[in-house]
């Protein structure tokens, strides 16, 4: 069983660990969560589509809404975020940065353009 990391250990991990190992380590739990949600929604869409096409369309709309809520709804750990923000000279924006909603929209726009150009 893993133990809970202290604030100092998390700060050290975020600032000293190589980015090539840090990003996959942080991304894996989110990827697993999104995969489980997607599989659930695909199964849900299959069974609901047996009813009629309107019900299937409703599930498709809700799936998109759930994906947006997951992308924006998670809030950062404020203490760690504040420490990183003070030590970095460029602006650090998190999706879900409720202190400055304009940063959320700019981050979403940037993500949209990156995804569109891939």
pLDDT band at 118 (very low <50, low <70, confident <90, very high): low
43, pLDDT greater than 60: yes
The helix/strand count (H/E) of the chain reads as 5, 0
Q: Which residue has the higher pLDDT, 58 or 73?
A: 58
Per the CB < 8 A criterion, the answer to whether 107 and 95 are in contact is: yes
pLDDT band at 44 (very low <50, low <70, confident <90, very high): confident
Summarised one tens digit per residue, pLDDT across range 88-98 is 665 555 555 55
pLDDT band at 100 (very low <50, low <70, confident <90, very high): low
- pLDDT at position 30 is 83
Per the CB < 8 A criterion, the answer to whether 45 and 63 are in contact is: yes
Phi then psi dihedrals of residue 94, to 5 deg? -105, 140
Phi then psi dihedrals of residue 96, to 5 deg? 95, 15
- pLDDT at position 107 is 67
- Residues 6 or more apart whose Cβ sits within 8 Å of residue 104: 72, 93, 95, 96, 97, 98
């Amino acid at each position: 069983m893993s133990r809970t990391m202290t604030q100092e250990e998390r700060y050290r991990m975020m600032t000293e660990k190589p980015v090539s190992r840090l990003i996959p380590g942080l991304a894996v739990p989110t990827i697993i969560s999104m995969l489980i949600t997607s599989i659930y929604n695909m199964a849900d869409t299959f069974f609901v589509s047996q009813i009629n096409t309107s019900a299937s369309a409703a599930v498709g709309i809700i799936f998109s809404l759930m994906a947006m809520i997951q992308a924006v709804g998670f809030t950062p750990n404020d203490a760690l975020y504040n420490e990183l923000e003070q030590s970095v000279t460029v602006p650090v924006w998190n999706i879900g940065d409720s202190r400055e909603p304009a940063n959320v929209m700019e981050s979403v726009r940037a993500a949209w353009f990156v995804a569109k150009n891939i």
